[in-house]
Amino acid sequence: MPDSLSGSIQAEVGARARKRITRRLMPYLLLLYFIAFIDRTNVSVAALQMKVDLGFSDAIIGAGAGVFFIGYFLLEIPGTLIVENWSARKWIARIMISWGIVASVMGLIGTHWLSFMSEKHQFYSLRFILGLAEAGFFPGIIVYLSHWFRYEDRARAKANFMIGLPIATLVGVPLSQAIMHNIEWLGWPGWRWVFILEGLPSVILGVITLFYLTDWPREAKWLPEDEKNWIIGELEREKQAKAGSAGSFKDQIKSSLLNPKTLQLAIIYLFIVTGYYGLTFFLPSITARMKGTSITTQTIITSLPFAFGFVAMLINGAHSDRTGERRLHTAVPMMLAAAAMVLSILSGDNLALVVSFFCVMGIGLHAYLPVFWMWPTAYFSASSAAAAIGLINSFGNLGGYLGPLVVGQLRTRTGSFTASMWFLAACIMIAGLLSLRLEKTSKQ
């Protein structure tokens, strides 16, 4: 940025650059996450018919839903380092194409195409491979956003990306329900078409990603030169501010992976993810057991928490950026969700109260997300942050295995979701309490 530019002109250029980058990247990244989360969680809807057609118990469904995260765990850290040091565009495209293919093949479970193993093991194997295929997507995007947005703007940018999660469930559940109950092409039941049809968009978007995304601002032909220089300069200043303790590339990786702050964030994420996926994978089954409710009502009840979560995520991320406060914006939503879950258990058969507390749960379980992912990039420099994000996400997402597994087992053994809900509420509250102990950084 030329020194002759006045502060007001720099501010004007910066404002234009931020808007242009946001308009170019955020809608597309939101779409990718929307599709990713539908492919990951549509099993929660398909399970309602799969259990009948294939004779699966809730324990099998829970284990299959969760084993996705074992595969996901294995490739997380390499994936984030590839995004930081090779190409986000190519890696994200590879992820999308491979996961779209595997997601569609899920629709062939129980057919002669996969008859070389039992139906249960077909289900487990494909969910595991789907996790391998998708590994690195979410943390890779978190790292990618740090290539384009300043620290001061990142919580809002991450919120704009992560709203794909509640939107995917808000739209995805009714969409999957509609496919499952209305499409039986080739004489196949609707649950097969849920997987087949919802996997195809990922393949198409993977190809588009190769041409649409740009790895770094310096490569962006769509960014005017003055705006390009501004964002490069801002990010370079941020990088230099952390460079004093950076060390060599290997030292950065080692120090971030062994840092107690990384372990603390990973443990927090493990507990909150256990609670989140334990609830969301079985929410359609929970609402299906509500007395006197139609399928339409159950679909609405399942979707409402995510509608409220969508709004809460945007508000909390924007408010955190505006105030510069991160710790309470992370911890309070978690504790709110845990309290709401306990109150929903105590509400018994009072449908209005249960639904109200479900909505509060949705607020808490989504609002914390964009602020939580500010911590690694605040604590560490580029490669260190990439490695830390990979470790936090991979370790934390083991909760995506643990949550559905425990809920499925408890449901099968007790015939009720009550014990499961107490377990999930405890996990979420522990995450909130641990978040209160996060240390402020110099930027907060």
CATH of residue 258: 1.20.1250.20
Q: Dihedral through CA 412, CA 414, CA 420, CA 423, nearest 10?
A: -120
Low-confidence ranges of the chain (pLDDT < 50): 1, 5, 442
User: Is 3 a domain residue?
Assistant: no
Task: Please report, as a single letter, which amino acid is at residue 252.
Answer: Q
> According to the model, what pLDDT value does residue 73 have?
85
> According to the model, what pLDDT value does residue 258 have?
81
> According to the model, what pLDDT value does residue 247 have?
56
> According to the model, what pLDDT value does residue 387 have?
80
Q: What is the DSSP letter of 184?
A: -
> According to the model, what pLDDT value does residue 248 have?
55
Q: 130: which 2 tokens?
A: 């789907």
pLDDT in tens, 135-164: 889 888 988 999 999 988 988 898 889 888
Number of domains in the chain: 1
User: Is 117 a domain residue?
Assistant: yes
Closest to 144 in 3D by CA, of 66, 90, 98: 90
- pTM for this entry: 0.82
User: Is 262 a domain residue?
Assistant: yes
- The boundaries of the domain holding residue 390 are 9-435
Task: State the Cα–Cα distance between residues 411 and 97, nearest whole angstrom.
Answer: 35
> According to the model, what pLDDT value does residue 421 have?
96
User: Is 442 a domain residue?
Assistant: no
> According to the model, what pLDDT value does residue 442 have?
47
User: Is 399 a domain residue?
Assistant: yes
Task: Please report, as a single letter, which amino acid is at residue 302.
Answer: T
User: Is 419 a domain residue?
Assistant: yes
> According to the model, what pLDDT value does residue 113 have?
93
